[in-house]
Amino acid sequence: MSNFHLVVEGEAGPLMLSPSGQFITPSSCPISLLVSFMTANLEEARARLDRYVADVKQEKDLIAQCVQTVFYFFSFEICPIIINFFVLVRTFGVGQRRQCDSV
């Protein structure tokens, strides 16, 4: 039971199981009804909690993968382009005005 969470809300509200496996109960719920509900839904709560933990792990992995992809793209695709641009500017003076000799 230590893996499960009990959320007690205001007096009026449903006795329910959240998508993440939390037992949600109104503060006015009789304890006998709460114990009966928890006993009947323990397996489903465990399944939802396991699914929730797996989903959170997958979300963190995807975020890390996206950050890594953006970092790679910036480091190995964009930076060389910017560096090459500045090398060209410095080498050929692109963007600088030159005076033309009169003929």
pLDDT in tens, the chain (103 residues): 788 999 999 888 899 999 999 999 999 999 999 999 999 999 999 999 999 999 999 999 999 998 888 877 777 777 777 777 777 767 766 555 555 555 5
Q: How many domains does the chain have?
A: 1
Q: Is residue 27 part of a domain?
A: yes
> Is residue 101 in a domain?
no
At residue 78, the pLDDT reads 73
Which amino acid does the sequence have at 3?
Answer: N
How high is the pLDDT of residue 57?
95
Domain that holds residue 69: 6-92
Could you give the C-alpha distances from 57 to 5, 64, 69, 96, 103, in angstroms and in order?
19, 11, 18, 53, 73
- Which amino acid appears at position 78 of this protein? I
Q: How far is CA 36 from the centre of its chain?
A: 35
Task: Using alpha carbons only, give the angle 66, 63, 44 rounded to the nearest 5 degrees.
Answer: 145
* pTM metric for this prediction: 0.64
Specify if 73 maps to a domain. Answer: yes
What SS3 state is found at 34?
A: helix
Q: Cα(17)–Cα(23) distance, rounded to whole angstroms?
A: 5
> Is position 67 within any domain?
yes
Is 37 a member of any domain? yes
Considering the domain boundaries, does residue 38 fall inside one? yes
